[in-house]
Structure 1
Amino acid sequence: MSTPSTRTPEEHARLLELHDSFKPVWLTETIQLGPWLPSDRDIVVEYMNNPKVYSYLFGPPIPYTLKDADEWLALRIDRMSKKGSPLDFAFRDMTRGGRAFGCVGTSDESDEVLDKDNTGYWLAPEYHGKGLMAKALKMMLYRISVVEAGKRKFNSFAFVDNWASRRTLEKVGFVVQDDMSRSIVKYGTTIPQWVLRLYLTEEDVERWGKETIEAKPLPSLVH
Structure 2
Amino acid sequence: MTLTPRSDFDPFNYTIAHNSLNIILSTPHRSDDATTLKALNDPRVGSNLSSVPFPYTESDRDFWYHTTKDASDLSRREWDVLQQDRASTGTAKKWMGSDQWVSVIRVGAPGSKPLEEGLIYPFIGEITFRRSGFPQIEDVKLQRQATDANAELPAGDPNILWDVGYYLIAEYHGKGIMPAVLSSLIKEVLVPYMNVHRLIGVYFEQNLASKRVFEKCGFRFVKLVPKAVSLPEVKFIASGFKEREIGIGVMQWEKALPT
With structure 2 as the length reference, what TM-score do the two structures score?
Answer: 0.63
The answer to whether the 8 Å contact 2:11/2:189 transfers is no
Q: What is the CA distance between 1:120 and its match in structure 2?
A: 0.9
Shift in alpha-carbon separation, 1:113–1:26, aligned structure 2, 3 A? closer
For 1:123, give the aligned amino acid: L
TM-superposition CA deviations, 1:74-110 (whole Å, max 9, x none): 1012224483477111111212961101111234665
TM-superposition CA deviations, 1:152-173 (whole Å, max 9, x none): 1111101112110001100001
Shift in alpha-carbon separation, 1:134–1:45, aligned structure 2, 3 A? same
**What is the 5 A alignment of 1:105-184?**
105-107=128-130, 111-114=158-161, 117-178=162-223, 181=225, 183-184=228-229
The structure with the greater share of residues assigned to helix is 1
The answer to whether the 8 Å contact 2:125/2:169 transfers is yes
Cross-structure match for 2:13:
24
The answer to whether the 8 Å contact 1:111/1:154 transfers is no
Question: Out of 124, 128, 140, which is 1:101 matched to?
Answer: 124
Considering only CA atoms, is the larger Rg found in Structure 1 or Structure 2? Answer: 2
Cross-structure match for 1:67:
59
The answer to whether the 8 Å contact 2:164/2:201 transfers is yes
- Could you tell me how far apart the structure 1 residues matched to 2:246 and 2:108 are? 36
SS in 2 for 1:173: coil
1:198 maps to 2:256: no
- Could you tell me how far apart the structure 2 residues matched to 1:151 and 1:129 are? 28
- Could you tell me how far apart the structure 1 residues matched to 2:186 and 2:127 are? 10
Percentage of matched positions with identical amino acids: 24
Cross-structure match for 1:54:
46
Q: Paired residues, what number?
A: 181
SS in 2 for 1:112: coil
- Could you tell me how far apart the structure 1 residues matched to 2:248 and 2:121 are? 33
- Could you tell me how far apart the structure 1 residues matched to 2:257 and 2:66 are? 35
- Could you tell me how far apart the structure 2 residues matched to 1:164 and 1:49 are? 20
Q: Which runs of 5+ in 1 are unaligned?
A: 1-20, 205-223
For 1:83, give the aligned amino acid: E
Shift in alpha-carbon separation, 1:203–1:22, aligned structure 2, 3 A? closer
The answer to whether the 8 Å contact 2:130/2:163 transfers is yes
With structure 1 as the length reference, what TM-score do the two structures score?
Answer: 0.72
- Could you tell me how far apart the structure 2 residues matched to 1:137 and 1:53 are? 18
The answer to whether the 8 Å contact 2:203/2:249 transfers is yes
Question: Out of 78, 85, 94, which is 1:83 matched to?
Answer: 78
- Could you tell me how far apart the structure 1 residues matched to 2:31 and 2:67 are? 14
Following superposition, which runs of at least 4 residues in structure 1 exceed 6 angstroms of deviation? none
Shift in alpha-carbon separation, 1:160–1:195, aligned structure 2, 3 A? same
For 1:25, give the aligned amino acid: Y
For 1:177, give the aligned amino acid: V
Q: What is the CA distance between 1:24 and its match in structure 2?
A: 1.2
What is the Cα-based RMSD across aligned positions, in Å? 2.5
